A and B are shown apart, each in its own frame.
Chain A
Amino acid sequence: MILEQIKQGFIRDLAEKGQREDGRGLLDYRAIQVTKGFAPNAEGSAFAEIGKSKVLAGIKFDVLAPFADRPTEGVVMVNAEFSPVAHPEFRAGPPGENSIELARVVDRGIRSAKVVNVDNMLVAEGKVQGVFIDLYILDHDGNLIDTAALAAMAALKDAKVPKFEDGKVVRGSNAGPLPLQDIVLSTSFEKIGKTIMVDATDAEEIASAGRLSLSTANDEKICSSQKSGSAGFSKDEYLQMVDWAMEKRKDLLAKI
């Protein structure tokens, strides 16, 4: 921990001059790569890389009991696993606050924009479709929220709905692609000193005092907002980030 912090001064000095360690501009993403269908046993999957950060999203369909007040609605669930392979400080065990936050931020974006139409997902009496999105964090070099959101969205685009018979999933069957009603992508900003930048590396995140993650949907809409870290943002800064997020959406969209 201490050893990772010693670089902070260097990163902050650079940020003050509007520069970054790897030579990027403040609003530049690192290289983005998305590989759909990475884990074909899953009904949908995608492996997303932003710079050296790597997240594998896998989607499984299942049947489960609906919520009492919504008897025919399907259920979408997002879970994140900060695998110990990804970082020396990640430990196996129950999810910590960072993992829960990441999963819930990605979930809120997908849910708010109604990416998956969950109406009429009744499979049999008392049984509805469940869409389980698991986000496996495999390598952590910063900006995990954007990488995970990208993987989740690409996996949803990759997903095939299986057939359901006798209230069960017919594994390996294909009833066609999962219809999507929107595309949700995340852009996260970090504030180092007074400088705001996108797509921070792990070292930049350690030097950062605060983050804002914005999810964008079609028609220039914001569908989730999450401020994290102790730094505050002004209204002007916030609206500026909304504009930048809309701008960055185009680049991300091209990758999936």
Chain B
Amino acid sequence: MVEKADLFKNGKRLDGRGPMDLRPLKITAGVLDRAQGSALVEWGRNKVLAAVYGPHEVLPKHLADPPKAIINARYIMAPFSGQEEHGRSGPNRRSIEISKVAKHVFENAVLVDQFPKTMIDVHMEVLQSDGGTRVAGITAGAVALADAGIPLRDLPVGLSAGLIGEHMVLDLDKYEDNLGDSDMPMVILPRTGEILLSQMDGMLSRDDISKAFDMIFQGAQKVRDKQIEALRQSYERMAAQAQQGENNQ
């Protein structure tokens, strides 16, 4: 059983990380065949799969917003994804709220004016969860959108910061989220420094918030590097396959 006192000792966190360290992060683009774009984000023990379909006809029809594309974002946790008992299938209040704020992120990042009267689906499936699934999901969704060829202003990047006692740390895992004092998931556009998602649990002063922002902006660069790396590798894989195909002729 993990106790709160174990979370931060001698400048180190339970898993040995320093305050600014992220958990191991691996992003793979183009992991699904049928989806227009897809990405798998493995972040610590989280595994989140994102898939993009569209732009397509708006369903149901009355939702169509003629001057731009509407985003249909769906964040959901698989019933087997948590350490706890079997969850209920389908959306719950938490996932509906997260889907809503994720939708707002993509509405900003996607150049929605280019596809009037259409709908773009961004599905985020949490297959295994270990704290920070919404920021992992949106980070995955961003890569899936780019992989699909949907025009974007920038790749939105998700990351959380939070307090353990008086220590502000980045990228909280499940224990830190449950036993720590506050959690502030955020999504930013690195290029412009815009905050596209901000939520919060716990109590923070103005100084805490300011510090959390600075840490998130700094850490987000590492996440963005992984997003770009995933897209680059997807291209290189494709190019290598083309070469290989030729050798097999």
Among B186-224, those with CB < 8 Å from A are: 189, 192-206, 209-210, 213, 217
Which of B108, B192, B200 contacts A222, CB < 8 Å? B200
- The residue of chain B having its C-beta at the shortest distance from the C-beta of A96 within the complex is B96
User: In the assembly, what is the distance between CA of A101 and CA of B199, in Å?
Assistant: 11
Q: Please choose the segment from B4-12, B97-105, B127-135 that sits at the chain A interface, where 4 or more of its residues have CB less than 8 A away.
A: B97-105
Q: Which A residues fall within an 8 A CB radius of B? A: 95, 97-98, 100-101, 103-104, 108, 111-113, 210, 212, 217, 220-235, 238-239, 242-243, 246
Task: State the interface size on chain B (CB cutoff 8 A).
Answer: 32
- Are A227 and B104 in contact (CB-based, < 8 A)? yes
- The residue of chain B having its C-beta at the shortest distance from the C-beta of A2 within the complex is B66
Known: A230-B107, A238-B213, A242-B206. A223 touches B97 (CB 8 A): no
User: In the assembly, what is the distance between CA of A103 and CA of B104, in Å?
Assistant: 18
- The residue of chain B having its C-beta at the shortest distance from the C-beta of A234 within the complex is B193
A237 → chain B closest CB, angstroms: 8
- The residue of chain A having its C-beta at the shortest distance from the C-beta of B65 within the complex is A1
B184 at the interface (CB under 8 A from A): yes
Residues on the B chain within 8 Å of A100, using CB: 93, 96-97, 100
B182 at the interface (CB under 8 A from A): yes
Known: A227-B196, A227-B197. A242 touches B209 (CB 8 A): yes
Most B-side CB within 10 Å, residue of A113, A227, A228: A227
B94 at the interface (CB under 8 A from A): yes
User: In the assembly, what is the distance between CA of A233 and CA of B188, in Å?
Assistant: 9
User: In the assembly, what is the distance between CA of A243 and CA of B209, in Å?
Assistant: 12
Known: A104-B93, A221-B205. A233 touches B200 (CB 8 A): no
Which of A101, A230, A246 contacts B97, CB < 8 Å? A101
B165 → chain A closest CB, angstroms: 16
Most B-side CB within 10 Å, residue of A112, A225, A233: A225
- The residue of chain A having its C-beta at the shortest distance from the C-beta of B198 within the complex is A227
A-B residue pairs in contact (CB < 8 Å), sample of 27:
A95-B93, A97-B97, A100-B96, A100-B97, A101-B97, A104-B94, A104-B97, A108-B199, A111-B201, A112-B182, A112-B200, A221-B204, A223-B202, A223-B203, A224-B199, A225-B199, A225-B200, A227-B104, A227-B197, A232-B189, A232-B194, A233-B194, A234-B193, A234-B194, A235-B213, A238-B195, A239-B210
Known: A101-B100, A230-B108, A232-B192. A238 touches B199 (CB 8 A): no
- Are B100 and A97 in contact (CB-based, < 8 A)? yes
- The residue of chain B having its C-beta at the shortest distance from the C-beta of A236 within the complex is B193
User: In the assembly, what is the distance between CA of A228 and CA of B108, in Å?
Assistant: 11
A239 → chain B closest CB, angstroms: 6
